[in-house]
């Protein structure tokens, strides 16, 4: 019942044109398909083994009003979807209805985990009517190979419990050697990783009385509550590529500082790889 891979990550964005320009022109992703629904539209992007779904529309307004642009769904593949869902609910997840007819639970904030059977890498998310992008450009020679980890911001007192949840629900274990450290003090953080090495989350919160910033401290405070804050990709040479999902609220100089500090944390989290 353990999870094996991240099938895709869905991002809810206010401005899809700008978001797509960033991911395609700035990061080397290739748009491969579009899905248009009554209240939202989505574009599927690919690079290496990574699949991103960028979604906009009035149907996601409540999420955007509460959290701003951000990660809405981290879809996971598993051997037995029904059993994994039952195990997740027993461990404390909240089952939520899915508009696409697949099991879905929330674990922290309003971020969902869609649960999918194991399938070939690159398969489009099920339940939507995907239309191939006309005259789609050839896949770029981008350097991103796969998703390294997702960084999650939590309330300090919930970090340990969340790590226990991922162990009990999805079979992820704590990676002690990948413990995050950022700023002048170590953050309250736990890295959990699946046995396959393809599912990894960095759960973090700033410690009480910290002298220096923690790895997630510099994200905009406009986002409400807990949430998945950033994606860290692995490149062809096993270097790290960073994607902050909610940088709009920070001045450019602060974003650069956040990136530098987060690089230290991310390298610590992945030191064991």
**Which of 204, 164, 159 lies closest to 186 in space, CA to CA?**
204
d(CA 263, CA 92): 32
Residue 125, pLDDT > 80, answer: yes
Residue 240, pLDDT > 80, answer: no
Residue 24, pLDDT > 80, answer: yes
d(CA 229, CA 19): 16
Which of 44-48, 65-69, 142-146, 179-183 is the least confident region?
179-183
* Mean pLDDT, residues 183-205: 79
pLDDT in tens, 95-110: 999 889 999 999 998 9
Residue 157, pLDDT > 60, answer: yes
Burial class of residue 185 (count of CB atoms within 10 Å of its CB; 0-12, 13-18, 19+): middle
pLDDT in tens, 200-236: 999 988 555 544 444 444 443 434 567 888 888 888 7
The confidence score (pLDDT) of residue 150 equals 92
* Mean pLDDT, residues 142-158: 87
Q: Which residue has the tokens 């879809």?
A: 75
Q: How much helix, strand and coil, in percent to the nearest 5, is found in the chain?
A: 25, 35, 40
Name the average pLDDT for the chain.
80
Q: Which domains does the chain carry?
A: 3-121 (3.10.180.10), 144-269 (3.10.180.10)
The confidence score (pLDDT) of residue 67 equals 87
d(CA 21, CA 16): 8
* Mean pLDDT, residues 34-38: 96
Residues 6+ apart with CB under 8 A from 256: none
d(CA 157, CA 164): 13
What angle, 0 to 180 degrees and rounded to 10, lies between the N-to-C axes of helices 159-170 and 81-90? 150
Q: Which comes out higher in pLDDT, residue 117 or 2?
A: 117
C-alpha Rg value of the chain to the nearest Å: 18
Residues 6+ apart with CB under 8 A from 236: 143, 145
d(CA 145, CA 131): 25
- To the nearest whole percent, how much of the chain has pLDDT over 70? 72
pLDDT in tens, 62-103: 999 998 898 999 999 999 999 999 999 999 999 999 889 999
């Amino acid at each position: 019942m353990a999870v094996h891979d991240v099938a895709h990550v869905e991002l809810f964005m206010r401005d899809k044109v700008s978001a797509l320009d960033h991911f395609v022109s700035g990061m080397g992703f290739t748009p491969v398909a579009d899905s248009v629904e009554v209240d939202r539209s989505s574009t599927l992007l690919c690079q290496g083994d990574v699949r991103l779904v960028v979604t906009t529309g009035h149907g996601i307004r409540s999420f955007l009003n509460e959290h701003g642009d951000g990660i809405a769904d981290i879809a996971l593949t598993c051997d037995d979807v029904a059993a994994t869902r039952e195990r997740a609910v027993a461990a404390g997840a909240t089952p939520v209805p899915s508009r696409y007819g697949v099991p879905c639970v929330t674990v922290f904030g309003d971020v969902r985990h869609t649960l999918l059977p194991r399938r070939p890498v690159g398969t489009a998310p099920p339940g939507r009517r995907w239309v191939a992008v006309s005259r789609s450009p050839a896949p770029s020679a981008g350097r991103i190979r796969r998703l390294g980890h997702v960084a999650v911001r939590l309330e300090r007192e919930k970090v340990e419990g969340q790590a226990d949840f991922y162990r009990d629900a999805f079979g992820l274990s704590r990676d002690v050697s990948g413990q995050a450290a950022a700023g002048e003090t170590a953050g309250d953080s736990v890295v959990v990783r699946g046995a396959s090495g393809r599912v990894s989350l960095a759960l973090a919160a700033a410690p009480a009385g910290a002298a220096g910033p923690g790895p997630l401290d510099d994200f905009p405070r406009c986002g409400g509550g807990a949430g998945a804050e950033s994606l860290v990709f692995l490149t062809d040479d096993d270097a790290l590529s960073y994607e902050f999902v909610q940088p709009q609220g920070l001045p450019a100089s602060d974003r650069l500082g956040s990136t530098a500090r987060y690089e230290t944390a991310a390298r610590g989290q992945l030191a064991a790889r």
